[in-house]
Amino acid sequence: MYGDTEGAVSGQSGCIAMVSFGPVAQDLQESLRAGLEPIFRIALCLTGQVLPLAGWNAERQQYLGEALLAELHRVWLPDALRVLALTEADLYADDLNFIFGEAEVGGPAAVVSLRRLRPEFYGHPPHHELFARRALVECIHELGHTFGLRHCPRPGCVMQFSDRIEESDRKGPGFCPVHRAALDAALRRA
């Protein structure tokens, strides 16, 4: 697992605003805030804003992740550097059966679906710590994309692509040295 440096990025204003599409548990949002702030060294603002879901595909019984990203632009918060949305809805992308999340590479918006991160989805009993870790990892991954980071081939890097929960579980919440340096450079420019 890769580690992350600590300390605030100087001269930074704004925050990462967290919103949700549909209700999301407050304790999870608090836990994610506590985990994300030291990684990105930016305040995470829990807005409490709950947005209506968009992009329903009745045939697939899922929501199109891209449609949710488009909705985030409609509710943009002026002081936010980035907007991270959480949802309990199942998401997909046009070329994938499902996605854990989606983000605009180098853009301001990211969304993470919690549905397939829950052990219960796979027929296992609830496991709060495992679920919270998975949610943190996927939020870091998608926010990394908003700061211009691409997928990583290095084992354990949070920026590895995951199309199965086992792959998500293998990666850590930390960045490899290459992606940590790229994120630090992007944060200085933010």
CATH value at residue 52 = 3.40.390.10
Instruction: Look at residue 6 and tell me whether its pLDDT is greater than 60.
Output: no
Instruction: Look at residue 57 and tell me whether its pLDDT is greater than 90.
Output: yes
Q: What is the pLDDT of residue 75?
A: 80
Q: What is the pLDDT of residue 190?
A: 81
The pTM (predicted TM-score) of the whole model is: 0.92
For residue 5, being part of any structural domain is answered with no
For residue 181, being part of any structural domain is answered with yes
Task: List all residues 6 or more positions away from 152 whose beta carbon is below 8 Å from its beta carbon.
Answer: 158, 159, 160, 176, 178, 179
Nearest to 87 by CA among 145, 18, 36: 18
For residue 4, being part of any structural domain is answered with no
Instruction: Look at residue 7 and tell me whether its pLDDT is greater than 90.
Output: no
Active site residues: 142
For residue 3, being part of any structural domain is answered with no
For residue 9, being part of any structural domain is answered with no
Look at 131 and 189; give whichever has higher pLDDT: 131
For residue 177, being part of any structural domain is answered with yes
- Checking DSSP bridges between strand 109-113 and strand 80-87, what pairing results, if any? parallel
Q: Tell me: the pLDDT tens digits for 122-172?
A: 999 999 999 999 999 999 999 999 999 999 999 899 999 999 999 999 998
Q: What is the pLDDT of residue 11?
A: 31
| Residue ranges of E strands in the chain | 15-21, 44-51, 56-57, 62-64, 80-87, 91-93, 96-99, 101-103, 109-113
Q: How far is CA 145 from the centre of its chain?
A: 9
* Encoded tokens for 159: 């920026």
Q: What is the pLDDT of residue 77?
A: 72
For residue 2, being part of any structural domain is answered with no
For residue 8, being part of any structural domain is answered with no
The total number of structural domains that make up the chain:
1
**Dihedral angle sign, alpha carbons of residues 87, 88, 94, 95:** positive
Q: What range defines the domain where residue 113 resides? A: 15-189
